[in-house]
Structures are given as C-alpha cells and as structure tokens.
Amino acid sequence: MTEIRAKAQAHLVPHFTRGDAWQRDDLLIIDRGEGCYVADTGGDEYLDGLSGLFCTNLGHGRSDLTAVAAKQMDRLAFSPNWSSAHPSSIEASALIASVAPADLNRVFFVNSGSEAVESALKFARCYHLANGAPDRQKVIARRWAYHGTTLGALAVTAIPNFRDPYEPMLGGFVRHVDNTLGCSGHSGPAAELPCVAAVEQAILAEGPETVAMVIAEPVQNGRGALVPPDGYWQELRRICDTYGVLLCADEVINSFGRLGHWFGSERFGVVPDMITFAKGVTSAYVPLGGLIVRDPLVERVWDSPASMFVHGATFGGHPVATAVAVANMTAMRDELVFDGVLANEERLIGGLRALMESHNCVSDVRGAGFFCAVELTRDRAAGVGLTDSEFAELLPGGVLERFVREARVLVRPDSRGAAMLAVAPPLVADASVIDDLLARVDQVLDRVGGWLRVST
Ligand SMILES: Cc1ncc(COP(=O)(O)O)c(C=O)c1O
C-alpha cells in the first residue's frame, strides 16, 4: 500500500488536484469494484455515490461488458472511421440514432466529453459556413457551466478558476449568461423568466447574424444539479429558431439514463439540433464520446462546397469502445435500468430532502433522476451562510473531503459557486443501496454540523 502510494506520488500527475493534497499519507487508491461499491488497496469498501464521475452507470464488475471488449479485440482491435467503417461503430451509431430524439440520426464519435463539445463547436461553424453565414462564430453558454477542458470546450466552460490560467487562449467568442438558479422561484410563463430573457438579450446584443450556437445541459452540473423551470427548454428552442442559431444540449452527464431516459432532452420534451454525449454511453468501461446531429444539418454540410465535416480523431469510434457501447445500451434496455431510476429517484431526492430537515447545515437539495446536489450553509434556520474562512477550510481538499472519506462514500465535495455535495449513484442502485447512500450522507452531514458548532 505504501509502496504503490509512493509510486503514485512520484510519477502520476493528478487531474484538478492540489499538489499538497496528492502528497498526503492517506492518498486514496481504489483497486476494484463490484456493483455500486468499490474498494481501496487496503480493503476498505466505499459506496460509489458519484458513479465514478457520473459515468459508471451500470455499476462495476459487469463481465458481460468485458467479454464483449475482449471478443472485439480478438476480431478487430482497430480500424478508423475515416473513409472506411467497421461493424461496431456502425451498430453503435444506428442504436444511438434509434433512441435519440426525432431526426437526430447522425453520430460522430470521439473519445471524451470535451472532444464531443469541440465537435459541436466545429460542426456549428461548418454548418453556418455551408449556409453562407461566415459571421456566425459566437456561442452563448451559461454561468458556472462545465463543458470540458480542451481549449474550445474550456472557452464555453464558465468556471473561473479552470479558465483563469488560459484566459488569453480562449478566443473571446463566448458570451456567458445566467443559468436557471435564480429562476427556480419564478411563476408565470416561461417566456417571461429572466434566465430565458438573458439568452435572447445576449443574442440580440451580439447581433443574431454573428451567433452560431447556444449550449446548455438539460440539468446543469456546475453550481449543483440545476433543474430548469417548466418551459425553459421550449423557450431556448423558440429563441434559437427565431434567430437561426443552433441549439446544442450538452448531455455528457445527462444522457444514458442519468435522468431516467436515454437523453435529458427527452425528459424536458425538446429536440435540440445537436446532442453531445460521453461517460455513460459505455458505463465508463472504455472511453467514448460523441456528437449527434439532426439529419438536414449533416446533409447541408455534405452538400456544400466544403462537402465534409472538417474534423477527426484517430480513435473516434474505436471498435472496442463502440462494441462496448452497443452491449451497454442493450443491457440498459433489456434490464429496464431506466425504470429503476424513475422508480427510485424520489427515494433518493426525497431522502436527501429529509436529511435537509434534520441538518441545519443544508440550505438546499436539488436534482432529477440519479443526479442531485446538496448545498451547504452555516445555519439555514437563521439564514447565515458560511464565512469565507469556513468555506476555505471545508473546500477544496479540506475537511469535507475527510468527512466523506470517513463515511466511506464517494460523493463529491464541490466548491464551484457554493459548498456542495454532488450525489449521483450508479443507475443500478436499488432501494437498499440508496438507503445505504442516504445513511452515509447523513453521517457526512452530522460531521459538518459538528464541525460548524465547534468552529463557532
Ligand atoms: C456537461 C459536460 N460536458 C463536457 C464534459 C467533459 O467531459 P470529459 O471529462 O470526458 O472531457 C463534462 C465532464 O464532466 C461534462 O460534465
């Protein structure tokens, strides 16, 4: 255990992790997983309350998926999707098209969510060029949204400390507008919501003839599982149609059952022009991402003088990844996994809300499907928030992480815009796993409450 930890600390560069946190003696090393649980190299078991990173949708240890991967490697380990194709990517694209909304029938495969977002940005550009509208270069995205880390995806991401070091490289083609957080208490028609007006005003302020695309997650992860008000997505659709702007739903988290449907867009009854996906498409057994586009848009690009979508990646639609995607989706369908999510979502979200009642350090619980956020405060009853120094001690890499670890639950302490816990178990979590998850979150909240009392 010590030896492998020392090797990690000497050689492995972590993602979004402070150097001092990485050098701690108790660095967590996860070694194996089964169902909704994983274990570290010391044998301690943890409930995977974040599905890895919102991606182990079918849970761990599915030997049917590993068998499909091995079989595909034996048959054809690799062949590209450039000028030729192979059966795995063809079957995966057809299966995805069959469950995607309306005429979203064309699938462009990549390897990650960031690449999927890059692909959407580039496709929007190629489409507008094909339409003779070269000035349409700007993108509207929302505050606190996370859309990935590659430079294009980072440009649409609105999390200041992820952007700050790279700001000069981000091109200045994105306008960020309010997300739906402030709209949750509003009544009345969706068209009058300030978060809807913000999108339209941004398009008008930039000049509609310069705007290429609006990108948004159906339920936004950054700032904590922001569920849109009724009619919000219909309004985004109306606005985009009015001004000739493409609407892209970033469903890297929201798709493949996270909200109890193949796509979050289905839950909110909207047909976007493009959908980005990754993560759950293979339940994270192998990396795969992609962009789904409506038929006429692809045809428009192919019929233009450029005659191609000018973009590509060696491993986009890798035979093994796409074979696993087919097996994963087939299992999701045959095992009625989404019915389980819809049947149990109230147990999860209602259970978290019940914890809010018993813990004065919780200011809000939000979410849909198996995708929730628990927002923390100092004293909900008195309406007193965390002080800056309490916030800094809790997050990131602070005491909240220790409390989570002690409760043996992998939920994510999140400091982006507020102190929060992200909770998103594998979709195969049944009532007993959810009850176990709630008990462990209860333990974390007990510890937070106790810590706040002592720090008074
Ligand atoms: C909505 C959204 N878009 C894009 C990404 C980037 O995906 P990846 O980390 O696979 O590049 C993420 C990652 O969490 C995401 O949540």
| pLDDT value for 396 | 84
Distance from the CA of 217 to the center of ligand 1, in angstroms?
Answer: 11
Tens digits of residue pLDDT in 317-339: 999 999 999 999 999 999 999 99
| pLDDT value for 456 | 63
Q: How far apart are CA 27 and CA 43, in angstroms?
A: 14
| Neighbouring residues of 337: CB distance < 8 A, sequence distance ≥ 6 | 57, 58, 257, 331, 427, 428
Residue whose CA lies nearest to ligand 1 atom number 4: 147
| pLDDT value for 1 | 62
Orientation angle between helical segments 319-334 and 87-99, nearest 10 degrees: 40
Residue of 111, 121, 179, 253 to mutate, ligand 1, most atoms within 8 A of C-beta: 253
What does pTM read for this prediction? 0.98
| pLDDT value for 149 | 98
Q: How far apart are CA 82 and CA 316, in angstroms?
A: 9
Distance from the CA of 251 to the center of ligand 1, in angstroms?
Answer: 9
Tens digits of residue pLDDT in 133-147: 999 999 999 999 999
| pLDDT value for 92 | 99
Mean pLDDT of the chain: 97
- Tell me which residues of the chain have a pLDDT lower than 50: none
Domains of the chain (ranges; CATH) run: 2-61+336-454 (3.90.1150.10), 64-334 (3.40.640.10)
Atom of ligand 1 nearest to the CA of 113: 7
| pLDDT value for 201 | 98
Give the residue carrying structure tokens 């068209």.
191
Distance from the CA of 146 to the center of ligand 1, in angstroms?
Answer: 7
Ligand 1 pocket: which residues have CB below 6 Å?
Answer: 112-114, 117, 146-148, 217, 221, 250, 252-253, 278
Number of Cβ within a 10 Å radius of residue 418: 20
Residue type for 79, please? S
3-state secondary structure 19-37: HHHHCCCCCCCEEEEEECE
Distance from the CA of 113 to the center of ligand 1, in angstroms?
Answer: 4
